Chain A
Amino acid sequence: MNWHGVKAIYNFEMARTWRTLMQSIIAPVISTSLYFVVFGAAIGGRIQEVDGVSYGAFIVPGLVMLSLLTNSISNASFGIYFPKFTGTIYELLSAPVSMFEALLGYVGAAASKSLILGAIILATAGFFVPLQIAHPFLMLLFLVLTCVSFSLFGFIIGIWADNFEKLQLIPLLIVTPLVFLGGSFYSASMLPPFWQTVTLFNPVLYLISGFRWSFYEISDVSIGVSLTMIMVFLGICLAVISWIFKTGYHIKK
């Protein structure tokens, strides 16, 4: 195992975060604060409590997930796409680094960034609404699993993309709508019965629901189902990545 190699990739990716502090950390904090101002303070004041939780507090887990999902994907996809774009990937390919070690470095860094971001957003949320976390360990588990699996998903997108448009395509056209429609800002029980059924086909619903349960013990689906769903997603990402490594798809000529 080339641990020096893993560490080099990890540190290099983390250094990029500090170099782009505005884009990586500050921008998501500002956008989250804006959500709180709009949904929490302006609109939230006119909405009654949702399942016994104030609306401002209710949207916190959804907001964290919204940022985690989009940032995990963009961090990991950019991390591996950029060397392909600039050509610096020659070094990774000619180094005594296995694809698994490269994955550890890139996905580890992307997931770490998302975890830091999640912590910052939670802290920011604490300024706007009173937070309570009923199951801190479970919350952390959801946080870590989400960061890792969506960073893996981002890694796949970064490998697949051969231009900047493709890099943005899936996050913008698929992931963002799924997050918005996955109950970030509402409980599925607030929807008419038909749409409640449709929502069950949205995988992000299970993430947000489980994550919210770890805060307030309220959820749209049971916590066990939520955990299973995220493990399934993680498994699918790992399977796709092992196929990519086996075939050298879009990496090696």
Chain B
Amino acid sequence: MESIVSIRNLSKTYAGGFKALNNINLEIRKGEIIALLGPNGAGKTTLISAICGIVSPSEGEILVDGKDIIKDFRSTRSIIGLVPQELTTESFASVLSTVNFSRGLFGKSPNPEYIEQVLRDLSLWEKKDNKIIELSGGMKRRVLIAKALSHEPRVLFLDEPTAGVDVELRKDMWALVRKLRESGVTIILTTHYIEEAEEIADRIGVVTRGEILLVEEKDELMRKLGKKQLILELTRTLTALPESLSAHQLLLSDDGQQLTYTYDTQGERTGITSLMDDLRSAGIGFKDMQTKQSSLEEIFVKLVEES
């Protein structure tokens, strides 16, 4: 698939000597939603800042739509929209004026109809004449999104878009992100809320200590690294596992009332049938059972711990 952003051998060392990015290589495909996951301080914001022109790369090159972000900064920046992590707004300007300002800054002639549509989509139209300082945190976040969309970008960066945002706005935001993707906008979001990535991303990149640990299709990642568990609630307490069950990957809970069987979803045989047979032979009965699939969160924590 065609790349819209190509990052090659990108490194960034800050003036104090701190290496925030270390030899990053990443291709972002046209029209996808890619989530960059990573703990605080992993380098996610620095990576975004380098692509957008806020931070100068120390080494490597970045191409946006095939053009170099330094030599062709006008062309690359004009198709990029950025919603920063911090709620940084001009407090005393009105919502409408600050969004119009952003459109002008990005070199676009005024388009009141389009701006009205953006503000309506973000439920900001009624607040268009309010000063930004009068708005709640969630509304300010919406204003930042409106500013980023004001110049009709084809690539949108959302840096921790749902940090400190309530459930309603989070759902609105996800709906908006999907709508933008349908219109052909490529979306790159950073987050440390894994459920967010799980909910909307097509691909997931895991960033830690300035490096990209892996980039994978979300479904593939969850399939590959995900484990499934079968949990059995026993009818009577066991003090130890019978010898006849030792061939199975079983774990007995401390109180002796629960057996957990972990199996690979990719395996051809899950081993459940033989486990059931062996349980019956051993005279172990159960009153309830449930299965559990490991979440992206568990996969992510495991990955970062292993790195």
Contact = CB atoms under 8 A, between A and B. Distances in A.
A15 B49 CA distance: 29
A4 B106 CA distance: 8
A173 interface: no
Interface of A: 2, 4-5, 7-9, 11-12, 15-16, 19, 83, 86-88, 90-98, 248, 252-253
B86 interface: yes
Contact of A253 (B15, B86, B105, B109): B15
7 contacts: A4-B107, A8-B100, A86-B90, A87-B86, A90-B52, A91-B102, A248-B56
A90 B105 contact: no
A15 B94 CA distance: 11
A90 B49 CA distance: 9
A89 to B, nearest CB: 8
Contact of B105 (A15, A87, A92, A98): A92
A88 B106 CA distance: 15
Contacts of B56: 248, 252-253
Interface stretch (B3-11, B74-82, B194-202, B289-297): B74-82
A65 B260 CA distance: 84
Contact of A90 (B15, B84, B104, B109): B84
Interface of B: 14-15, 49, 52-56, 73-75, 77-78, 80, 82, 84, 86, 88-93, 97, 100-109, 147
Given A95-B106, A96-B75, 19 more contacts: A4-B105, A4-B106, A5-B104, A5-B106, A15-B93, A83-B90, A86-B88, A87-B84, A91-B147, A93-B54, A94-B54, A94-B82, A95-B105, A96-B77, A98-B74, A252-B54, A252-B56, A253-B14, A253-B55
A87 B88 contact: yes
A93 B51 CA distance: 11
A12 B93 contact: yes
Given A4-B104, A8-B105, A87-B86, A96 B55 contact: no
Contacts of B82: 90-91, 94
Nearest to A20: B92
Nearest to B84: A90
Nearest to A82: B90
Contacts of B93: 12, 15
B53 A94 contact: yes
Given A93-B53, A94-B54, A94-B82, A12 B101 contact: yes
A19 B131 CA distance: 11
Contacts of A91: 82, 102, 105, 147
B104 A96 contact: no
A88 B107 contact: no
Given A91-B147, A252-B54, A15 B106 contact: no
A15 B90 CA distance: 12
A80 B73 CA distance: 21
A96 B52 contact: no
Nearest to B77: A96
The 9 closest A-B pairs by CB, nearest first: A8-B104, A87-B88, A94-B52, A96-B74, A96-B77, A2-B107, A96-B78, A95-B105, A93-B54
A7 B104 contact: yes
Contacts of A19: 92
Nearest to A10: B104
A90 B106 CA distance: 13
B81 to A, nearest CB: 9
Contacts of A92: 105
A95 B15 contact: no
Contacts of A252: 54-56
